[in-house]
Amino acid sequence: MTATETTVNEAPEMGLRELKKQMTREALADAALRLTGEKGLDNVTIEEIARAAIVSPRTFSNYFSCKEEAVVTAGAADPAVIVAAFLAVADSEPPLKALCQVLSDHASSKTADQLRVMVEKMELVQRYPSLLPFQSAQYDRLEEGLRGAVAERTGTQPDTDVYPWLVAGAAVSCLRSALQLWAHAGDDAGRLAPFIQDAFNQVSAGLPVPQR
């Protein structure tokens, strides 16, 4: 199994063609991350990434616009998976609480290898600023998907109502903050879910000033 997000068991509705495309995409992303970690971003070429994934450079260009995009795709969550899980939570749960549950469960399901990839990628993003816009774009796509899902769940309209914007934005902000703290937590780095839960709890409480 690769360290990236989608597996055969997680994509039961994929046809064979779509599954092969997904596996190629994951192989390219994994190769890009590994080679960048070994050699440095400036010393890695698209040709090397393609060779490591056993495809042609032309095939690489069918999946990614550049090597930076490939690097940050490694281990990235599929927004569609998160959105589907959110919509599956009972409607009786408040949207923000439901999102906390979904993101915490998603974090808890990750393997040690997937967690390692996440930390490695975050370290590379800090080291190479050119990766940051592509990581930000991933968060933007997740927020967009959640915004639509919150609107669907609550009967609001993203074009006219601020509520789905606030909920989706708060959820993604909680996730980003939790990931940053978790990545710097040293021996506690395996406990991602509690960081996510703490972030959501503080937002839900109205962000009271911590007692020192």
Q: Check: CATH 1.10.10.60 for 16-73?
A: yes
Alpha-carbon span 4 to 195, nearest angstrom: 22
What pLDDT score was predicted for residue 212?
83
Domain layout of the chain by residue ranges? 16-73, 79-204
What SS3 class is residue 185? Answer: coil
Give mean pLDDT in consecutive 10-residue pieces for the chain, a chain of 212 residues.
46 75 96 98 98 98 98 95 96 97 95 91 96 98 98 96 98 97 75 95 95 85
What pLDDT score was predicted for residue 189?
57
Q: Give the burial class of 155: count Cβ atoms within 10 A of its Cβ; 0-12 exposed, 13-18 middle, 19 or more buried.
A: exposed
Which CATH number does 79-204 carry?
A: 1.10.357.10
pTM of the model: 0.88
Comparing CA positions, the residue from 202, 195, 169, 197 lying closest to residue 181 is: 195
What pLDDT score was predicted for residue 180?
92
What pLDDT score was predicted for residue 193?
94
What pLDDT score was predicted for residue 8?
34
**CA–CA distance from 130 to each of 25, 122, 134, 140, 184 (Å)?**
21, 13, 8, 17, 21
Alpha-carbon span 47 to 28, nearest angstrom: 11
* CA-based radius of gyration for the chain: 18
